[in-house]
Amino acid sequence: MQVVLVHNPAAGDESAPGEQALKRLIRDAGHEVEYCPVRSRKWKSALKDGADLVAVAGGDGTVVQVAREIMGRRIPIAVLPLGTANNISKSLGVRHLPLEELVACWKKAQRRRFDAGVIRAPWGKQHFIEGAGAGLFAITMPEADEHPTLENLKDAEARATYAQQILRERLKACRPLPLDIEVDGEEISGEFLLFEAMNMEYVGPNLYLAPDSVSDDGKLDVVLIKARDRRKLDRCLETWQDGVTRPPDFEALKAKRIEIEWTGFDLHVDDALFPGKEHRSVRKPARIVIEAERNALEFLVPGRDDGPAEN
């Protein structure tokens, strides 16, 4: 196969393979490879020239960048997880498989269809793979991005655990956010510590908020956490810090379409705030629509004979 390899050299810790090791790994498996650092944007033109497969070596942010570019084009994505949270690879069941094993199975791997979410606002639209939401996670993102301790941690699991600790600290004084929400035409407005429209089980630093999420059902999982659930959320964060993916028990709804009245509160789309600083002066209130786009992407995952997937 002709493989376009999109690599984020900044992802992962010191043990993460570099350019030469990744190219050798792919060539040894019998494929042709074109190497493209994610920051060079060379990979966009490489994909236009034609490829049988795009391999993404990096974290969730890199996967999302590539996914947005090829959405609807039926070029399969093979994830080589090197990042911090690696939520997408966890949802695909490949997070802890050796890279050699992942590459070796490409020729007989299965194509797994995967939905995407899309958020539309007066200032533009954006696709997401993990989730979009408001409340605790969104308001903590800027602090976490600039936290000196988090920046200096090299181990991916240590970074995710520390980010969860930052959320626990912020949760103590987090005020519920008044939200005017409609889910498939039904009003569920109220005050929430956290609102998330999830396209998969995890979001952010391995927040296991939507255990019943199905990646190809054409629906989003709407997770709503009220002030009365503050202690429950803290216990979940503590459990996740210990490495136990205990399913949470929060209010959740399946939805094709969500409408929100935006009044200027922090809103995230995957790992970035939405809108960005350039649109913060937009007239308020504004109506935002979040929907699922069914089978927008395809990922390569090991076939049934290539070993067990993760739980």
Segments forming the whole domain that contains residue 176? 118-294
Beta carbons of 221 and 198 less than 8 angstroms apart: yes
Question: Are 206 and 162 members of one domain?
Answer: yes
Question: Are 184 and 239 members of one domain?
Answer: yes
Q: Which residues pair with 273 in a beta bridge?
A: 268
Measure the CA–CA gap between 285 and 271, rounded to whole angstroms.
24
| Residue 74 pLDDT exceeds 60 | yes
Question: Are 197 and 55 members of one domain?
Answer: no
CA nearest to 120, candidates 296, 288, 292: 288
**Burial class of 117 by CB neighbour count within 10 A (0 to 12, 13 to 18, 19+):** buried
- Residue 311 in any domain: the answer is no
Report pLDDT for 305. Answer: 57
Measure the CA–CA gap between 89 and 129, rounded to whole angstroms.
12
Report pLDDT for 150. Answer: 85
| Residue 311 pLDDT exceeds 50 | no
Read off the pLDDT of residues 197-249 as tens digits, 9 standing for 90 and up.
999 999 999 999 999 999 999 999 999 999 999 999 999 999 999 989 888 98
Report pLDDT for 242. Answer: 93
Q: Per-residue b/e over 195-204, b at no fewer than 16 CB within 10 Å?
A: bbbbbbbbbb
pLDDT band at 310 (very low <50, low <70, confident <90, very high): very low
| Residue 309 pLDDT exceeds 50 | no
| Residue 307 pLDDT exceeds 50 | no
Q: What is the mean pLDDT of residues 58-63?
A: 96
CATH number at residue 126: 2.60.200.40
Read off the pLDDT of residues 93-136 as tens digits, 9 standing for 90 and up.
999 999 999 999 999 999 999 999 999 999 999 999 999 999 99
Question: Are 287 and 300 members of one domain?
Answer: no
Question: Are 167 and 25 members of one domain?
Answer: no
More confident residue, 158 or 56: 56
Please give the C-alpha separations between residue 248 and each of 146, 209, 224, 239, 309, in angstroms, as whole numbers.
Answer: 29, 6, 12, 10, 22
Question: Are 168 and 277 members of one domain?
Answer: yes
Read off the pLDDT of residues 15-58 as tens digits, 9 standing for 90 and up.
899 999 999 999 999 999 999 999 998 999 999 888 999 999 99
Query: To the nearest whole number, what is the mean pLDDT of the chain?
Result: 93
Question: Are 150 and 289 members of one domain?
Answer: yes
pLDDT above 90 coverage of the chain, percent:
81
pLDDT above 70 coverage of the chain, percent:
97
Report pLDDT for 227. Answer: 97
Question: Are 136 and 273 members of one domain?
Answer: yes
Consecutive H or E run containing 79: strand 77-81
Supply the DSSP string of 8-69, one letter for each residue.
-TTSS-TTS--HHHHHHHHHHTT-EEEEEEGGG-HHHHHHHT--SEEEEEE-HHHHHHHHHH
Q: What is the mean pLDDT of residues 251-255?
A: 95
Number of independent structural domains in the chain: 2
Question: Are 66 and 54 members of one domain?
Answer: yes
Instruction: Give phi and psi for 204, each to the nearest 5.
Output: 60, -140
Report pLDDT for 282. Answer: 83
Beta carbons of 82 and 57 less than 8 angstroms apart: yes
Measure the CA–CA gap between 27 and 33, rounded to whole angstroms.
7
Question: Are 138 and 196 members of one domain?
Answer: yes
CATH number at residue 58: 3.40.50.10330
